[in-house]
Amino acid sequence: MRLVDAEAVHRLLDYPSTVEALRGLYRQGVDLVESHLASQPMPSGAEAHFLMLPAWQRGRFLGIKLVNVFPDNAGLGIPTIMGSYVLIDGRTGEHLACMDGTVLTLRKTASNSALGASFLAREDAESMLMVGAGALAPHVIAAHVAVRPSIRRVAVWNRTPARARAVAQAVKLPGVVVTATEDLEGAVRTADVIACATMATGPLVLGRWLKPGAHLDLIGGYTPAMRECDDEAARVARVYVDGPRVPDYCGDVCQPLASGAIRPEDLQGDLFQLCRGERQGRRTRDEITFFKNGGGGHQDLGCAQLIWQRLQG
């Protein structure tokens, strides 16, 4: 079994290739995708999560990611998200590789959001707002710029301004000016693309702030109790999800469904349908689009296959 460390995962999962690998996976489909979440309270009051994410393309590959989310690690100076991925031959059951799951998670999550944006963000988008300054933030920025190279300005907002400044200083992309902001409302009102990657349990982005033509990309909110935008954001936008089960467990979709702000028939489609051409993405310049990135083992499987193919030359 090959061991693939963090540096190799970074090197092998460049954003343009990873976005296209995910596009291909959504077109092909996956025979089995499941997720299992176990949670425990921490002394701080936050919850620690242990996720098990298996996926299987019969006759090709299967695999599982084991990932921990420990929010209190941020105060200890160690990653809040850590994990491993095991890739298995779908014909023989042979264990092929064990990969660094932390970097795999960062790269696939950012690339999945960028894939959504390739259908939903305006092709001439020039400005982006990154809400959240955790480990995902630099990857989300780089992935969005990879699919929308028209982006020239990126603002970073975080509850702790110093962390936003640190991300802004760390991100170096040719032709892109990255700055920190403490004015969340003002930044939302002027951004063409708003990406959120936080642990928020209450809305940060309000629907009344979204300008015509904006694209909202929501990455946090992976439990029913978590959310990053309000009901109004879902109501004024055309809502898309990355997979059909997202409305069951992601607060940014299941909460507005429960309140009646949107109805199940208001959901415009998922990435399987978009990638297969079964549903239409952005239709007009001024419509507001909303994409919920719910994650899932199928995305990890697609990225792990790309790594394995590149390792085989």
Tens digit of pLDDT for each residue in 8-32?
999 999 999 999 999 999 999 999 9
At 259 the pLDDT is: 97
Tell me: do 50 and 128 sit in the same domain: no
Same domain, 133 and 85: no
pLDDT band at 62 (very low <50, low <70, confident <90, very high): very high
Predicted confidence (pLDDT) per residue in 123-180, tens digit:
999 999 999 999 999 999 999 999 999 999 999 999 999 999 999 999 999 999 999 9
Residues 187 and 160 placed together within one structural domain of the fold: yes
pLDDT, position 301: 97
Tell whether 42 and 136 lie within a shared domain.
no
For residue 245, tell me if it sits in a domain: yes
How sure is the predictor about 6, in pLDDT bands with cuts at 50, 70 and 90?
A: very high
For residue 74, pLDDT over 90 is answered with no
Q: For residue 212, give the CATH number of its domain.
A: 3.40.50.720
Residue 191 in contact with residue 144, Cβ under 8 Å?
no
Whether pTM exceeds 0.85: yes
Q: Are β-strands 61-69 and 47-57 bridged in parallel, bridged antiparallel, or unpaired?
A: antiparallel
> In the chain, pLDDT over 90 holds for what percent of residues?
91
Domain count, the chain: 2
The distance of Cα 162 from the centroid of its chain, to the nearest Å, equals 23
Which of the four pLDDT bands, split at 50, 70 and 90, describes residue 80? confident
Are residues 135 and 237 located together in one domain of the fold?
yes
* pLDDT averaged over every residue in the chain: 96
Is 111 a domain residue? no
Instruction: Give the tens place of pLDDT for each residue, 226-264.
Output: 999 999 999 999 999 999 999 999 999 999 999 999 999
Give the domain extent around 188. 121-294
Q: What is the DSSP string of the chain?
A: -EEE-HHHHHHH--HHHHHHHHHHHHHH--SEE--EEEEEE-TTS-EEEEEEEEEEETTTEEEEEEEEE-GGGGGGTS-SEEEEEEEEETTT--EEEEEEHHHHHHHHHHHHHHHHHHHHS-TT--EEEEE--STTHHHHHHHHHHH-TT--EEEEE-SSHHHHHHHHHH---TT-EEEE-S-HHHHHHH-SEEEE----SS-SB-GGGPPTT-EEEE----STT--SB-HHHHHHSEEEESSTTHHHH-HHHHHHHHHTSS-GGGEEEEHHHHHTTSS----SSS--EEEE----HHHHHHHHHHHHHHHT-
- 69 and 162 in a common domain: no
Is there a single domain that holds both residue 205 and residue 254? yes
How far apart CA 233 and CA 235 sit, in angstroms, is 5
pLDDT in tens, 203-221: 999 999 999 999 999 999 9
What's the confidence (pLDDT) of residue 78?
A: 87
